[in-house]
Structures are given as structure tokens and as C-alpha cells.
Amino acid sequence: LCPQCKEEESLSEMQLAEQGFSADKLAEIKLFKPVGCTHCTGGYKGRVGIYEVIKISPTIASIIMEGGNSLDIANQCQKEGYNNLRQSGLIKAMSGMTSLEEINRVTSA
């Protein structure tokens, strides 16, 4: 988001929960939306990546070697505290780097 013109976006706690934000942090979440100004013309300035990176732990390696499917691996990753692509995007939205609208577009929420 363009730091010159981004505006705070107001969403209810219910809307935030529906988007996948953690229930224990709903009251403190601040999101921003694009506006557009002479610096950016569309509300966005630059690019930011969102990533899903997994370190292969012994447990995940075992699931892979035993022929586990992607759901088995994803469940174990969640247990080990890894963020999936959507969660990584929500973190970027909470930091004001991008909008929830853009995260929804690229993660097909």
C-alpha cells in the first residue's frame, strides 16, 4: 500500500474472524485500504511477496516418506506453528503493507 494515502479500513470482529484472523487478536487488528494519490495513482506503491516456507522436520519427513498426502503435511505444519500462504498474507495486511482485498485476490479466499 502507498504510505502516503492508505486509509484505515473498518471491519467488525465478525468480519475479521470470517477472513481468518486469530480470534484472540481481533480487537487489536488494524487494516488499511488503497486510496490513490499523485505518488501512486492507484493506492499501491511497489510490490511485496507472501510466502509459505516449510522446514522439513523429522515428523514432516516421516509423513512424506510414508506417502502422506498434502492434508496430512498441512495439518502437521499447523501443529508445528508454520503459517500457510493465507496466514502469511494476513500478517502482511495487519502490518499495513498491503490490503485485505489484495490478499483475498491472490489467495482466493
Assigned domain for 1 exists: no
Cell of 33: 485500504
Asked if residues 44 and 33 have their Cβ atoms less than 8 Å apart, the reply is no
Which residue range(s) make up the domain with 61?
7-107
For range 28-42, the mean pLDDT: 93
Nearest in space to 94 (alpha carbons), one of 4, 14, 2, 8: 8
**pLDDT, tens digit, 9 for 90 and up, residues 61-83:** 999 999 999 999 999 999 999 99
Q: What is the mean pLDDT of residues 28-43?
A: 93
Judged against a pLDDT cut of 60, whether residue 109 lies above it is answered with no
CB 39 within 8 A of CB 5: yes
* pTM passes above 0.85: no
**Does the residue 43 lie in any domain?**
yes
54 assigned to some structural domain: yes
CATH number for the domain spanning 39: value is 3.40.50.300
How many distinct structural domains can be found in the chain?
Answer: 1
Residue 82 within any structural domain of the chain? yes
